[in-house]
Amino acid sequence: MKIVADKNIMELTTRLPKGIDWVLKPGRAICAADLVDADALLVRSVTRVDEHLLKGSQVGFVATATSGTDHLDLPWLAANGIAVADAAGANANAVAEYVIASLAELMLEENLPLWQLTVAVIGVGHVGSVLLTKLTALGISCVACDPFQQILAGVSYVELNTALQADVICLHTPLTDHGSYPSYHMLDEHRLKKINPAAIIVNAGRGEVIDNKALLAHLQQCPQQRVILDVWENEPKPSPQLLQKVFIGTPHIAGYSVEAKLASTKVVAAALIKHFALEKLKIPIHSAGAMRMHDQCYEGDFANLMVRKGSDQQIFAGIVTKAFSPKAVSRRFKDIYQATSFSSDAGAGAEVFDSIRADLSARREFGATHIHAAGISPQLSVWLHAAGFVLPA
């Protein structure tokens, strides 16, 4: 059996039986010639899977170790009898933590009064529901917007125009360009003008949900608008001008954590085993390598993660951003992107994207951080636990 796979799918080969003929390559380098005699293709979001890639091959199974399937031509795959699997929901916690950490950056830098604001989560699927659960556990006022499902208990569902009047707007919709509620360019020039200039816009969902040209023009006229973007139109080469104008701009790394990648691999491996009726794994689901990574959690001096001066809100924000700082990633992305000449090298955008993502290969989620809670207030303990940190019982 021959499997072509993105080499950056974590722990993949250790989770499948021996005897597989592996072809492991960077996702952007996978080409049709690799797949002529392959049985399966395993990718991430950077590989476009369509007729151009698979025509004439014997591939009968495609899996993506991502929540989204925008990079897969699903109608063509279905028409050609090719089975498809994805890892929907595997990175939901990582993305929710990215949003919380980004808002914590604003709390530290601009004294954002988060507990006095209303957050609207637009798109309440895997990621949106996790984010809403965390925010409400933190005691933050939230509303939800999702015309397709309204099943999360204890949350007020509102229509889109009402959601866009919130103080913080978080976009987590799938990307669609048809139907009654298409999300493509959902935030266009018209809707951007209706958003309060003091509001915060966070897009860690799909880049094309915001018209990026309209957003750039909007920020040129309304520079006080705080925008946080992890996803972009024209990835991996977003607008350099837009990148420099957003408060935080990162190269599609919100769901990029050790825990999310291992969960994605588990789902992909299980789907492949089921499809091909392979023998059951003879190894534990956490391989030795994965266990070593899980052992590298933050333990010991609480002071290393704590800002001891300030309000509970400021201390909370300091702990969150020490565990993971989207602003630090953004600074590096902006600096490297600005220094790179894209006019002379068409592949430079992808190189910048991929190099920074590679540097975050060991990012841990808050649950890997064990905090010694001596001396902190009961309220701060509640918030840290709600965000996902581990505190002693």
Amino acid identity, position 73: D
Measured CA angle at 140 (ends 133, 66), to 5 deg: 35
Supply φ then ψ for residue 286, to 5 degrees.
Answer: -100, 110
Preceding amide of 75 cis, omega within 30: no
Distance CA 104, CA 315 (A): 10
Query: What CA–CA distances, in Å, run from 207 to 94, 173, 228, 312, 360?
Result: 18, 10, 12, 34, 20
* Catalytic residue numbers, as ranges: 206, 235, 252
Return d(Cα 149, Cα 170) in angstroms, integer: 17
Question: What's the sign of the alpha-carbon dihedral 220, 221, 224, 226?
Answer: negative
Do strands 118-122 and 168-171 pair parallel, antiparallel, or not at all (unpaired)? Answer: parallel
Residue corresponding to tokens 């993660």: 305
Q: Which residue has the tokens 């996790």?
A: 130
Q: Which strands make up the sheet holding 21-25, listed edge to edge?
A: 21-25, 2-6, 40-43, 61-64, 83-86
Q: Say if residues 115 and 107 touch (Cβ distance below 8 Å).
A: no
